[in-house]
Structure formats: C-alpha cells, structure tokens
Structure 1
Amino acid sequence: MSDLVEKLRPVERDLARDFGDFALLALFAPEENSYERWDLVLAAPRLHHTYERAQLQRIIDVMRQHLTLKDYIRVCRFILLPMTSPEVMEITRRYPTEGRVIEIFSREMFSRFMREGYIMTSRSVLACAADAPSQGSTECTGPATIVRKPRVTRQVAELPRT
C-alpha cells in the first residue's frame, strides 16, 4: 500500500474541518502518469467542484503543512467532484470503506483508465449531507474540475542550503 495514503490522513482530518466530512477521498494513478504520480480525488459537502482559488489554496496549505516536499510533489492533480455526481455515487456505493483503505487496480474511472488506486474514504452522500451544517449545497451537479497543482520550484529554491 502506498505510504502516501497514511500520510494523507491528517490532511483529510484538517480539510474536513473546512469542507465537511468527505464522501470520497482517494488517490488514483492514471495510466499515462509515471510511477508514483497521483491524482487526489475529493468530494465533500462544502467543497465546491468549480475552481475557487481560496479553497484550492487551503488544500495546498494543509498538504504542505503535513507532507514532506517529496510526498507533496507526488500528488500532481486534484479532481474536485460534486457529491451528487454519478462517479461519486457509484464509487461510494461500490466501495464503502468502513474504516479501511480499499486498493483497486486497472479500472476506468472519470473517463480515464487508472492503473492503481486507493480509496481512503468512501461514505454515503446522504450520511455526509446529514453531518454537514446547512452552509453550502449538497445538491450541486456538474462536471468534475481537474486542477493541476502549482509547481513547487519556488519552494525548493527557498529551502535553506546546508
């Protein structure tokens, strides 16, 4: 199992404070990506599936807080999904995690072939909506937003030399 999965647990916990309990949190390795490059898939009640700079910056800040630079670089894209999207509904129905990580291989997801994947959290959308405060809509629909993570070259340059 990817060691990155366990390292993302504190990231999930901190992001859940802002966006609500996740219906889906998963790592997928698309076939076209090189080894150990991952897409982070997120769906939560108050996580907007459209591009919003502030929420993207919050995700990045939390990841930087909890991950080493090497692990941070391994996540190359975020896939933000509406909780009611057919993909989220299908994954949460087919792969309920119930406190464990589910490892999958060679599947088509999000209209792309995934070489490998780890579903860390997969909860019923109704359970997540019940847990969420009334802020934000859980009835959002629409396509996923795929966001390439900003490059980290500036952060590498700022590291102190020893």
Structure 2
Amino acid sequence: MKLLILDRDGVINYDSDAYIKSLEEWIPLPGAVEAIARLSKAGWTVAVATNQSGLARGYYDPATLDAMHNRLRQLVAEQGGQLGLIVHCPHGPEDGCNCRKPKPGLLQQIATHYRVALTGLWFVGDSTGDLQAAQAVDCQPVLVKTGKGERTLDKPLPSGTLVFDDLAAVAEHLLH
C-alpha cells in the first residue's frame, strides 16, 4: 500500500493563528486539493492527521469540523480522487492525551486502521510538532513551506527531513 499522511492546517488549507473556526474560513491552499486527487488517482491512499484544539477551546463544534472535512472530500472527489481516513485530536495542549502532535497517537491510529507499519511512511506537515510526531514513529518527516513552514525552517529540523515548497511539489516528487 502506498500511504501518504498529511497534516491539515497549513498543508491542505490556509492556517490561522486565530484558528479555522468555520466552513467559510476553511480555504484550500492553491494546488493542494489537486495534489491529493492526483496522488489518489495514481494509487496512493492519502490520510490526514490534524490537531484540532479549537474543539476543546469551544471555538467550533464537531459538526463544523465534519463540514470542513466533508468539503475537503467533496473537492477531492470533484477532481476525480478520493481522500482516505481523517483523524483529529480534539484536546487542548494541557489535556495530556497521546493523540496531540507532537505525540504519535494520530499516526498510530492511521497505521492501525490501514494495518501498516509507519516506518518510512511520509508524514507531511508545516510545524515542528508535525516533524517530531513523524520522528517518534520512524516516519519520514516532510516539511512544506506553506502555513507555518517558513517559520519552522528557522528552527532545527529532525535529521533527514525533506523540504518542499508545497503539497503540489510533494505530489510531483512522489509521482515522478
């Protein structure tokens, strides 16, 4: 199985330090939906692992999050692709869960769902926490410069981190 795991905010859609709180605020990054569809049509399974502490903070409800993810699935389908499993951490930073990145729980949920080992799988993110989560389970850490990616480049990166301009560039690399 060819499995690619993505962070959401800053990788697939625009991010905001004020949180993405509504369907109207959920805006795909240029080329991201097309990249997911291209990968899907080429036989890749694309899954998403996203921290959504806005739920714990009361900024939006589960139905709003579901609407965002349904919109993402719809847009990918309109391009002829399919999006795989989407898992999210609903907890706040102080909740002590195992699913909030940089902890590896979300990635482990995906591995369990697809019955695959995480070793060497690519996890694409835009933050240090994403890269640390990848490293914790021996995934290949991949940084995109979108979202918080440019700021993340200014910090020490895990050894072997691959860096791409955006999700479209990741897809192009994997498909060629």
Question: What band does the TM-score fall into relative to the shorter chain?
Answer: 0.3 to 0.5
The structure where strand makes up a greater share of residues is 1
Q: Point out which structure has higher relative CO (alpha carbons under 8 A, 6+ apart).
A: 1
**TM-score (structure 1 length as normaliser):** 0.37
**TM-score (structure 2 length as normaliser):** 0.34
